[in-house]
Amino acid sequence: MEEAKYYSVRMRASQNIADQSESKHISGGELISTYSNIKESVNILLEKALTHSRGNADFMQIQFEAIQEPVEYIKPLEVRTNEVASMEAGQVLAKSLLEKAGIPKKTIDKVYENLSQYLEPAGAVLVDVQSGERVDDRKNKGIRVSRIDWLPYHFERWSDFYHIKGNQRLREALALATKVSSHPAAAAELCWSDDPDYVTGYVASKREGYQRITKLKEYGDERGGRIFFVHCSEELDSYIYYLEKKPVFIQWEGSREE
């Protein structure tokens, strides 16, 4: 059978582009589309950016690009939702889940010392598991994970099966965290949104799954981001290539796999 041809469709939107150094990230989005679905995919991303709680964009770019690399299919991480009463309790839990995922306490402490700086980029920051140092060179941009999507209807089937309210955000974040964690260089991820109206975040790892935490910041706070804890003994460049370029579909075939 001939492999279907796929297209990576990407959007980014920002404010105040007159002075690039002051530009504020509004929204970003990634989809994998067939040719016949490109119009629909562009519309999904357009809609996402036009109605955004971080504000109205005055710059937006939506692009599509044929994917040459073979697509990889992976199963979603196991999901667990941890209810917490406050942001403080959420952050204590996040740290203990990182430790459970194998991140040394001194590395976690070091990351939290630098947290405000690591939340600034729109993309993810990579931190070495052993030293706790930031190891990517993407400064104020960070790494943007791309070429990631669910196979058509697989997310809907997955969320129906688990009776999880299948919001768009969970759809995107679970796909991303699954891709990020599936590489040998990955140890764990810590994430919460930069959108002021969304306070749920997560700690994800292959070992512990996708552990949602219902409150990791206060409402109204526009600081958020992703920190990927990585094993630097693995080739960092090839991990970054994988995150940005390797096309990955999330595939869920039903309970018999669980």
Residues that bind ligand PML (CB under 6 A): 169-170, 173, 191, 193, 195, 200-202, 212
For Mg ion, the closer CB: 62 or 184: 62
* Dist. CA 74–CA 246, nearest whole Å: 12
Binding partner selected for residue 225 from Mg ion, ligand PML, none, CB under the kind-specific 5 to 8 Å limit: Mg ion
At closest approach, how far in Å is the CB of 198 from ligand PML?
A: 6
For ligand PML, the closer CB: 32 or 213: 213
For Mg ion, the closer CB: 97 or 176: 176
* DSSP β-bridge partners for residue 101: none
Residue nearest to Mg ion (CB): 225
For ligand PML, the closer CB: 165 or 256: 165
At closest approach, how far in Å is the CB of 210 from ligand PML?
A: 7
Does 225 help bind Mg ion (rule: CB under 5 A)? yes
Binding partner selected for residue 212 from ligand PML, Mg ion, none, CB under the kind-specific 5 to 8 Å limit: ligand PML
Residues that bind Mg ion (CB under 5 A): 119, 194-195, 225
